[in-house]
Amino acid sequence: MANTLTGARPLSWPHRIRRFVDVGSTFLAIYWSYKRIQRNKKLTPAERERRISAAHRSSAKRIYRLATRMEGLLIKTCQFISSRADVAPPEYVAVLSRLQDRVPARPFRDVAALIEHELGGHPDAIFDDFTRRPIASASLAQVHRARTKDGRDVAVKVQYPGIDRVMETDLRNIAILVRILARIEPNFDFRVIMAELNKDVPGELDFVREGHSSERVARDLSHRADIRIPAVVWEHTARRVLTTEFIGATKISEIPKLIEQGIDPNQVALIMTEAYCEQILVHGFFHADPHPGNLFVLPGPVVVFLDFGLSKELPEGFRLNYARLVLALISQDEDQMVQAFRALGFKTKSEDPQSLVALGQSFFESTGADQKPYIDADVMPEVNERLARILNANPVTEIPGDILLIFRVLGLMSGLQKRLDSHVNVVETITPYAQAQAARLAELAEGSAAG
Ligand SMILES: Nc1ncnc2c1ncn2[C@@H]1O[C@H](COP(=O)(O)OP(=O)(O)O)[C@@H](O)[C@H]1O
Ligand SMILES: [Mg+2]
């Protein structure tokens, strides 16, 4: 199986083509539903707003149904959209949030067969009280609660049978789209994005690796009493079954429930911000999927991180240059900004630094005049328009693959901060983490000046 990425065979061609057609026709229908409203010049502003909201709701439902039929990467995409309360219309957030942990589940007999194959016994033989009905089901797996023979309360995450073939198919179909896109937009190198996806997706299907990633982050953050990561129960873990200590906590997006327990959402937002500053800037290894289905809160507050399937290791040089970029952005030092972007691997068509400066500035501009800890949707049209104008003159032709999951985290964090109605001062919080890397940075610079 030399040319498969996940080790699984893709679905048959008729299946693959149907996926393409299903996705394509759904998006065309959605496009038209908006276009019709846009073209209708006779609508009063109030009526237009009402129709747009109705179109958001029906489009979100269409996408929801499509995702539950398609599974795989489409569910992951919907989880991302539903986590972007900062920029996505509330209708999308409401409908698609169900896909964070309430995807229609597989029948128990399929789950039992997979456990038997992976762990060598029927779930009822291996565990006490293995619950028939899953407590949650998400993009790759469903989770059942059980008790081990020695009395530990556990969550057993069982991969959906056949999901590896779906993922393999998605990767191949996306590769085709990327090739088409590359023709339409020859200036940009999409291969970088594809290469990163090809690395991340197979990793997500390997639960042994996921267990190790969770232990690594747990070690890195073990000094923090306000962060908890469930322990892995290795004797009941295999490539497609991950058993962890069960933690009964509140989903991070259930704000009224948090408040009822005396938990301050802003304190939760601060813990999250610090956790990501430390993972990315200090350890260079991070949980890359902070959507609300993977984050829970216990009184304290203690933030619980679940699901390390999508974890990322940064090369040391990349991590340090990222710290350098952060410092340059904070101090608004345009020269440093451009140097850091280039050192990270950003490329533009011409030597003109204006595009990279504009990109750097857009980070701040997008949070509004009062520098919120999340993107301000009201200022985005203006920021995007300005950025597009500058990028048109000198396009960014390449972005480094290693930045993609950092961008993903930044996007998800922005959505989360908005949900938590956070007033965390991000600049103040991140500065000491970035500055702590300054000494290493200087060493690196000296080394390269000497060499
Ligand atoms: N150790 C645990 N304790 C409590 N609930 C858990 C635990 N592990 C998973 N869950 C529940 O199962 C859901 C799916 O698990 P997750 O690891 O996120 O799977 P996926 O990779 O498919 O997203 C979570 O959103 C959470 O509700
Ligand atoms: Mg998850």
pLDDT at 438: 77
Give residue 1's pLDDT.
44
Residue 389 burial by CB count (10 A; 0-12/13-18/19+): exposed, middle or buried?
exposed
DSSP annotation of 232: B
Q: String of b and e for 96-114 (b: at least 16 CB within 10 Å)?
A: bbbbbbebebbebeebbeb
Judged by its nearest atom, the ligand closest to the C-alpha of residue 103 is: 1
Q: Whose CA is nearest to atom 11 of ligand 1?
A: 136
| pLDDT score, position 274 | 98
User: Measured from the CA of 309, which atom of ligand 1 is nearest?
Assistant: 21
Q: Is the CB of 158 under 6 A from ligand 1?
A: no
The count of residues in the chain is: 451
What's the confidence (pLDDT) of residue 271? 98
Nearest CA to ligand 1 atom 2: 246
Distance 232 CA to ligand 2 centre (A): 16
CA 198–ligand 1 middle distance (angstroms): 24
Supply the pLDDT for residue 450: 65
Position 15 scores a pLDDT of 87
Kindly state if the Cβ of 249 falls inside 6 Å of ligand 1. Answer: no
**If you measure from the C-alpha of residue 61 to the centroid of ligand 2, how many angstroms do you get, rounded to a whole number?**
21
Residue 138 Cβ contacting ligand 1 at under 6 Å: yes
Among all residues, which ones are annotated catalytic? Answer: 289
Q: Is 227 in the pocket of ligand 1 (CB under 6 A)?
A: no
Tokens 């009941």 identify what position?
Answer: 236
Residue 120, by phi and psi: left (phi above 0), alpha (psi -120 to 50) or beta?
Answer: left
> Crossing angle, helix 163-184 and helix 73-82, to 10 degrees?
70
pLDDT for 99: 93
Residues 158 and 143: beta-carbon distance below 8 Å? yes
- Count CB neighbours of 3 within 10 A: 5
Please name the amino acid found at residue 167. Answer: M
Pick from 145, 157, 242 the residue to mutate for probing ligand 1's pocket: most ligand atoms within 8 Å of its CB.
157
Q: Is the peptide bond before 230 cis (omega within 30 degrees of 0)?
A: no
Nearest protein Cα to ligand 1, atom 27: 136
305 CA from centroid of ligand 1 (Å): 10
318 alpha carbon – ligand 2 mean position (Å): 27
* pLDDT tens-digit profile, the chain (451 residues): 447 888 888 888 888 888 889 998 999 999 999 999 999 999 999 999 999 999 999 999 999 999 999 898 999 999 999 999 999 999 999 999 999 998 989 999 999 999 999 999 999 999 999 999 999 999 999 999 999 999 999 999 999 999 999 999 989 988 888 888 888 888 888 888 889 989 999 999 999 999 999 999 999 999 999 999 999 999 999 999 999 999 999 999 999 999 999 999 999 999 999 999 999 999 999 999 999 999 999 999 999 999 999 999 999 999 999 999 999 999 999 999 999 999 999 999 999 999 999 999 999 899 998 999 999 999 999 999 999 999 999 999 999 999 999 999 999 999 999 999 999 999 999 999 999 997 777 777 777 766 5
- DSSP letter string, 90-159: HHHHHHHGGGGTBPPPPPHHHHHHHHHHHHSS-HHHHEES--SS-SEE-SSEEEEEEEETT--EEEEEEE
pLDDT at 448: 72
Q: Is 232 in the pocket of ligand 1 (CB under 6 A)?
A: no
